[in-house]
Amino acid sequence: MHRLARGREHVVATVDEIAPGESKVVPIGRHGVGVYNVNGKFYAIANYCPHEGGPLCVGRTHGQSVVDPERPGGAAEAREGEFIYCPWHQWGFELATGTTAVKPEWSIRTYPVRVEGRNVIVTA
Amino acid sequence: MSQTLIDERKLGTEQVQVRVVDSDVHPYPRRGELAPFIPGKFRKLFAARGEGVGNSVFYDPPDYAHASAMRVDSFPADGEFAGTDPHLTFRQLIMESGSDIAILGPLNSSGGQTEEETHALAVATNLWQDNCWLDSENNWHQRYRGSIVAAIDAPDLAAREIEQWAGHPYMAQVLINAEMRPAWGDPRYNPVWEAATRHNLPVACHLGRGQHNELPMSPVGFLSYNHDFMVTYSLLAANQVMSLVFDGVFDRFPTLRIVFIEHAYSWILPLMWRMDAIYAARGPENGLKRKPSEYVKDHIWFTTQPLDFPEDKLELTNALEWMEADKILLFSSDYPHWTFDEPRWVAKHIPERMRERIMFQNSIDVFNLPSTVPALPGQVRAF
Amino acid sequence: MSSAPHPLIDASVHIFFKSDADLRGHMHEPFASRGFPEPDVAWFAPPGKKYAPGTANPDGSHQASDPETVGRAIFAERGFDFAILHPMSGGVMPDRHLGAAILTATNEMMAERWLDTGVYADRFRGTIRIDPNDVDNAVREIKRWRDHPRIVQIGLPLQTQEPYGRPHFKPLWRAACDASLPVAVHLEMGAGITHPPTPSGIARTYSQHVSFQPISYLYHLMNMITEGVFEEFPELKVVWADGAADHLTPMIWRMDTFGRPHLEQTPWAPRIPSAYLPEHVYFVQGALDGPGDVEFASEWLRMTGKEDMLLFGSSYPDWQLASPEKLPSAWTDEQREKVLWRTAAGLYGLPAAVPA
Ligand code: FES
């Protein structure tokens, strides 16, 4: 696959190419960059897990478990789709910030994304 | 990585140094692949029991419904389970992660309801490995080694199975379940140790999850989650170590080599202190000839995965020094399980002084492996 | 040693009734005539001596059953200033009514004989024994004793049918927090209802048995962490009274390593597991604990914050009798002070000065 150069702006998709809840891995840098549409907002992360180097974007996005005494089992899912979970050891990272509250020193790389007209543009 | 190489399945003449021996890799049979190898008497019974059954997981690892306790990226494209495709394992583990030799430890042999059934499953599993993983088509690269699966709860049958396969060019160890009661110091298991030592084969045990008292059960009742369950699972291995030592198994079998797979290892440091303290306080009331920690260092090995990592890496480095990890650790990845440890990551965290012993040399010695193998162009070297 | 400017605290002295008849004399009918085990039974007893040399009483009564003899040994001879008493019982009874009758008699005996009267009463502090299989009654018993000035701890058995994180134990933790009393978990002597002592059944040797059993605290602790007990009861303090603190270090590494992915299953315990240890977890440091007198002993004690968790305890009169002289010479003065008195003084509310 043709690799894109790093450190500049790339038009990676058109907005309707990545529907809400969907994502796309584009070949930027050594491991690629995953572009995610979370409820209409776009985020971009490195396809590389800082833990042992797993291919992060193969993992599933979902929310975060929170205590909810009203629900059966006492827990509920909050902020659905806002976290990426690594396909290897299932560590979760917030797509927006790349971090987690539990162990902030282990964070993933995120990249600025903006939408111009119909284009999704990543600076990576 | 070169697809051509796999397609051609031809080895060059060039030899390379073995730099990584992976002592914990899991092959799984494809749907229906094991059945033809099951001894006739049990084939129908197992098929009938398996009819219409579903998942039996409890103590579920994270996101189980989507990950099935596996590396999510290790499922083959044909819809079969992770670890069912020898070529995919070869590509992901050997070519792309740099494990040079992979010791296969099949886990599909437990679940018999009688000793004869467990033995029948062991027999089938060994035939299946020989035919579907260690054969010239699937092991054309000579990087796979198998395990002689033996039913520890039927020691005489297990010994016979060891006899049957000993001398096979690609069988590297005996593999038993860790959970059978009583603990291994019991003399009923002598035939297994005897057969293994006669053929200079190490005996390895992987953790498994049975039912009832072989779950295993904690002495203070059932844990609540996979988290507290899998972490405290190590205590079963700790107890087996104590049984082996205090019941004098290594005095009975001075050449016996035992490998604990995936039971973690850092607990052996305080356990050696504790056993030595008891020995010092109570004297050789069990007839032991040496300090418990000396038996451990001469007879027992632990695989590295999962490499439990402290907040402060220096603590790990110190602990490895204090336990003399270069004498007791064998690298392992646990591919394709979700707790997979990447060889490059592990090598990086082992102190340099110990790196070669832990990543490959100890395994070459314990499993009697070659120190060079035919080269594979394009293979990642882990360190 | 008593000339030291600070007090020395023995955080674990085991005490007993003088005899089976003595216990029965403290019980009422119909329980006084029932059958129940004594603390010393042949089942998994050490093949050699059960008790330390010099602890036998000339009148044949049980070791550590006479306050004056024990006081002399601990304070006059061994130089301690305070001792935390932990009454040993004969095992967890299948009949909770009988169990309650035995433990109540035990608590009353301890108060009358050791804490309220006698020349050493002001040096002794007591642990009341409760039965976790009868939570309602245990809570009543905690309330009954909580205002006694010399009761400083609640004692629970290590052997249970369920690990201590399970929710039906919550009223115990609530009562302990309300009473501001730490909870000590100690192996029960004697015989009673227990699961097999190891995950592989019974041990063949005493060495293995005695080596494994104390380590079982890990099942309780890990379960309490995942069930969010320390989140719900931030004031709760637990003393693992059979030692084996050394195993905490590797096992909490393991717990943390698998903590991050598993947290999604336990939002009631949202922090990384090791964060729940400080101020919640303590250990009695006994004779079989520690790396021995090695150079790195001080570094090891620092790891996982164990230097702030250990309380020296002699386990008098057990054969495992521990002495402060055997503590590693590489420990810093500060570490020795913490283990020999400072942490215990804080935990049990003991004065920082030597009593006159
Ligand atoms: S490599 Fe991603 S969680 Fe371990």
Is residue C2 one of the residues assigned to a domain? Answer: no
Instruction: Please tell me if residue C162 touches chain B, with a CB cutoff of 8 Å.
Output: yes
Respond yes or no on whether ipTM tops 0.85: yes
Instruction: Report yes or no on C353 lying in a domain.
Output: no
Residue C292: its pLDDT value, please? 95
Neighbour order of strands in the sheet with A41-46: A23-26, A33-38, A41-46, A110-111
Alpha carbon of residue C217 to chain centroid: 11
Rounded to whole angstroms, the Cα distance separating A120 from A19 reads 12
The set of chains that have 3 or more CB pairs under 8 A with A is B, C
Q: How far apart (Å, rounded) are the C-alpha atoms in residues B120 and B28? A: 17
- Name, in order, each residue with C-beta under 8 angstroms of B90's C-beta and a sequence gap of 6 or more: B6, B141, B143
Confidence of residue C1 (pLDDT cuts 50, 70, 90): very low
pLDDT, residue B7, reads: 54
**Which residues form the domain of C336?**
9-348
pLDDT above 70: residue A105: yes
Which residues on B lie below 8 Å from A90 (Cβ)? 61-63, 67, 338
**Whole-angstrom distance, CA of residue A32 vs CA of residue A37:** 17
- CATH number of the domain where residue C75 is located: 3.20.20.140
What pLDDT does residue B5 have? 54
How many separate domains does chain C show? 1
CB contact, 8 Å: A60 with chain B? yes
CA of A100 to the centre of ligand 1 (A): 13
Q: Residue C187, exposed/middle/buried by CB under 10 A (0-12, 13-18, 19+)? A: middle
Residue C356 lies in a domain: no
Give a yes or no: residue C4 inside a domain.
Answer: no
**Could you tell me the pLDDT band of residue C2, with boundaries at 50, 70 and 90?**
very low
> If one looks up domain A9-123 in CATH, what number appears?
2.102.10.10
Q: State how far the Cα of A36 lies from the Cα of B306, in Å rounded to an integer.
A: 31
pLDDT of the residue at C92: 96
C211 falls within a domain: yes
Task: Identify from B184, B190, B218, B276 which residue to disrupt to test chain C contact, counting C C-beta atoms within 10 A and taking the largest count.
Answer: B218
More confident of the two residues C101 and B56: C101
The answer to whether residue C303 is domain-embedded is yes
Say if C20 falls within a structural domain.
yes
Q: DSSP class of residue A24?
A: E
pLDDT band at A100 (very low <50, low <70, confident <90, very high): confident
What's at B20, amino acid-wise? V
* DSSP code of residue B60: P
DSSP structural state of residue A31: T
Name, in order, each residue with C-beta under 8 angstroms of B318's C-beta and a sequence gap of 6 or more: C296, C299
Tokens of C322: 């521990």
Contacts of B63 in chain A (CB under 8 A): 60, 62, 85, 90
Contacts for A103 with CB less than 8 Å, ≥ 6 apart? C260, C272
Nearest Cβ partner for B71 among A53, A85, A88: A88
Q: In what order do the strands lie in the sheet with C310-312?
A: C9-15, C82-87, C124-129, C151-157, C183-186, C238-240, C281-285, C310-312
C3 assigned to some structural domain = no
Interval between CA A106 and ligand 1 midpoint (Å): 10
Q: Which residue has the tokens 């398996």?
A: B50
Please give the domain boundaries of chain B with CATH numbers for all domains.
Answer: 12-374 (3.20.20.140)
Q: Is C244 left (phi over 0), alpha (psi -120 to 50) or beta?
A: left
Which positions of chain B have pLDDT values less than 50? Answer: 1-2
Give chain A's mean pLDDT: 92
- pTM exceeds cut of 0.95: yes
* Lining residues, ligand 1, CB within 6 Å: A 49, 51-54, 86, 88-89, 91
The domain spans of chain A are 9-123
Give the integer Cα–Cα distance in Å for C274 and B283.
36
Residue C212 touches partner B, C-beta closer than 8 Å: yes
Interface of C with B in 242-271 (CB under 8 A): 244, 246-247, 249-251, 253-259, 261-262, 264-266
The partner residues of B329 in beta bridges, in order of sequence, read B302
**Eight-state DSSP code of residue B91:** I
> Residue C291 pLDDT > 90, yes or no?
yes
Tens digit of each residue's pLDDT (9 = 90 or more) over C21-76: 999 999 999 999 999 999 999 988 898 889 999 999 999 999 999 999 999 999 99
Q: Side-chain half-sphere of C337: how many Cα atoms within 13 Å? A: 9
CB contact under 8 A, C211 and B322: no
